[in-house]
Amino acid sequence: MIVLEPFTPTDFPQLIDWVSDERLMKEWSGSMFSFPLTEVGLTWYIEDSNNVEDPSVFIYKAVETATGTTVGHISLGGISQRDRAGRITRVLVGHSTARRRGICQGMVKALLRIGFEDLNLHRISLGVYDFNHAAINCYLKAGFQQEGVMRDVVRHDDEYWSLIEMGILEDEWRAQQPAASAHA
């Protein structure tokens, strides 16, 4: 099982270690950071995050409960109270050995619960590069639907990357919850 805990400065070294090359940096963060990732950049990144009085961005580390090990990173930003909407960004499963164990899906499901139950959002969206088939499958299994494709939005070296836009609405998310959760 995966639980999400606030991402803090004590978590910086591990994330810096995980983001080990420029391509991964761009896949994970778009153009938010320059390579290499630094503690200074991460300090700016978490500024004003996880503030329940003024919720605009929540940044988490993902912890596997069985081992207590941090296995990933995920954030929910662009939160609009007026529109009751947010956007999942910067999803990263730590080391390649941790992949294909359902960690991504556990992280996403935990974040959807926070977004729909705790923050009372109506819509949560995300963007994923079209070549990232593992992530696309993870999001589809979590209940997201593909809504469109933005073609050639990012250039890396001599290639262009297209972005698949995906979203899930609160009623779609609630429909896939076990009956016991609906009455809790």
* Domain range annotation of the chain: 2-177
Residue 43 and residue 45: Cα distance in Å, rounded? 5
- pLDDT confidence of residue 96: 61
123-169 tens-digit pLDDT: 999 999 999 999 999 999 999 999 999 999 999 999 999 999 999 99
- pLDDT confidence of residue 97: 60
66-122 tens-digit pLDDT: 999 999 999 999 999 999 999 999 999 998 665 667 899 999 999 999 999 999 999
Local structure of 86: helix, strand or coil:
strand
- pLDDT confidence of residue 129: 97
120 compared with 184, residue with greater pLDDT: 120
36-72 tens-digit pLDDT: 999 999 999 999 899 888 889 999 999 999 999 999 9
Q: Which CATH architecture has domain 2-177?
A: 3-Layer(aba) Sandwich (3.40)
